[in-house]
């Protein structure tokens, strides 16, 4: 799914590269964080480094489309980001995201000579991403999805959740034309996802004794890490909500190709050629 989506996006945007100087390519660098059961309401908590590749095509001075490939990690812990909950659960997960977004500039940044070297903007789009929640136990890290910590895969229980999902990216930013060929930007984007398992926590506690017998001591220990085991069927997560993740940071892009007057950025002041009359000497 991820690979097919990447190929489709690259084909679409590669076709646009023939339009000189409307195209930009560059990089994104910043931080990522998560919001969900293990961090319900603390933005930027336990942030991790993030980075990626950016391709932008400027349709008009106000509208642009963009393709992104981002790499991030998110993490949270009840002990640090949700101390009111006694679950003692924690996780970390790498994220690979491929997305396409539309940008709306509030000012005409790519426009006639000498106008608007900067512009705030908003963006929204759609993307796909892969993730793989993991947790540490006795100094060893375990991938959680195939363990079925909420009873997934056992007789009469729900299936294992997918490690690929859809996200809706949206956010705000500010870009500045450093030179005719280079643009620096800063942006903050949220990602609404269609999964509640980014952190491997969603439904109810499964009977821990059954997990111990069917899956072993490691799975039973990772499923319920509280000092006093929870009753089977009691709430482990909140099935009514979905998980979010966010990327915030800087973008640096470079316009590519030959000069395109329809979308030119020129810092030289406009000059008007006038024919000057000369009076002869008497």
Of the ranges 6-20, 123-137, 262-276, which one carries the lowest mean pLDDT score?
A: 262-276
- Averaged pLDDT, 130-139: 97
Residue where the block lists tokens 């560059």? 26
Radius of gyration of the chain (CA): 25
Question: Mind listing the pLDDT tens digit for each residue in 162-219?
Answer: 999 999 999 999 999 998 889 999 999 999 999 999 999 999 999 999 999 999 999 9
Distance CA 38, CA 245 (A): 12
Distance CA 246, CA 226 (A): 29
Name the band, by pLDDT with cuts 50, 70 and 90, for residue 267.
very low
The reported pTM is: 0.82
Residue 49 CA from chain centroid, whole number: 12
Nearest to 115 by CA among 266, 228, 2: 266
Find the helix or strand (DSSP H, E) in which 119 lies.
strand 118-131
pLDDT at 11: 53
Residue where the block lists tokens 């991403």? 129
| pLDDT surpassing 80 at residue 2 | no
φ and ψ of 13, to 5 deg: -80, -25
- Averaged pLDDT, 252-270: 59
Contact 150, 204 (CB under 8 A): yes
| pLDDT surpassing 60 at residue 270 | no
Nearest to 124 by CA among 174, 189, 69: 189
Residue 11 makes CB contacts below 8 A (sequence gap 6+) with: none
Nearest to 46 by CA among 70, 82, 86, 85: 82
Look at domain 2-134+161-196+243-263 and name its CATH class: mainly beta
| pLDDT surpassing 50 at residue 137 | yes
Domain boundaries, the chain: 2-134+161-196+243-263
Contact 35, 243 (CB under 8 A): yes
pLDDT at 262: 46
Q: What distances in angstroms separate CA 237 from CA 143, 199, 276, one per listed residue? A: 19, 10, 80
Distance CA 135, CA 75 (A): 10
pLDDT at 85: 82
């Amino acid at each position: 799914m991820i690979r097919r989506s990447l190929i489709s996006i690259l084909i679409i945007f590669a076709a646009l590269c023939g339009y000189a100087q409307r195209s930009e390519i560059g990089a994104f660098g910043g931080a990522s964080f998560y919001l969900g059961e293990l961090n319900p309401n603390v933005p930027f908590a336990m942030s991790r480094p993030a980075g990626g590749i950016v391709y932008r095509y400027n349709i008009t001075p106000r509208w642009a489309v963009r393709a992104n490939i981002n790499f991030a990690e998110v993490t949270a812990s009840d002990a640090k980001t949700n101390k009111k909950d006694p679950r003692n659960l924690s996780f970390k997960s790498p994220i690979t995201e491929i997305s396409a977004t539309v940008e709306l500039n509030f000012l005409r940044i790519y426009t006639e000579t000498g106008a608007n070297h900067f512009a705030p903007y908003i963006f929204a789009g759609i993307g796909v991403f892969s993730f793989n929640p993991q947790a540490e136990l006795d100094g060893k890290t375990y991938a959680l999805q195939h363990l079925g910590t909420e009873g997934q895969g056992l007789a009469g229980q729900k299936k294992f959740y997918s490690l690929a999902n859809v996200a809706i990216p949206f956010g705000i930013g500010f870009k500045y034309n450093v030179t005719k060929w280079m643009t620096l930007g800063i942006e903050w984007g949220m990602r609404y996802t269609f999964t509640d398992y980014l952190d491997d926590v969603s439904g109810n506690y499964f009977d821990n004794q059954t997990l111990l017998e069917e899956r072993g001591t490691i799975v039973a220990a990772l499923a319920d890490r509280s000092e006093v085991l929870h009753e089977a069927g009691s709430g482990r997560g909140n099935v009514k909500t979905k998980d979010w993740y966010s990327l915030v940071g800087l973008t640096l892009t470079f316009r590519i190709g030959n000069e395109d007057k329809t979308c030119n950025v020129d810092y030289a002041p406009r000059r008007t050629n006038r024919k000057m009359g000369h009076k002869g000497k008497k």
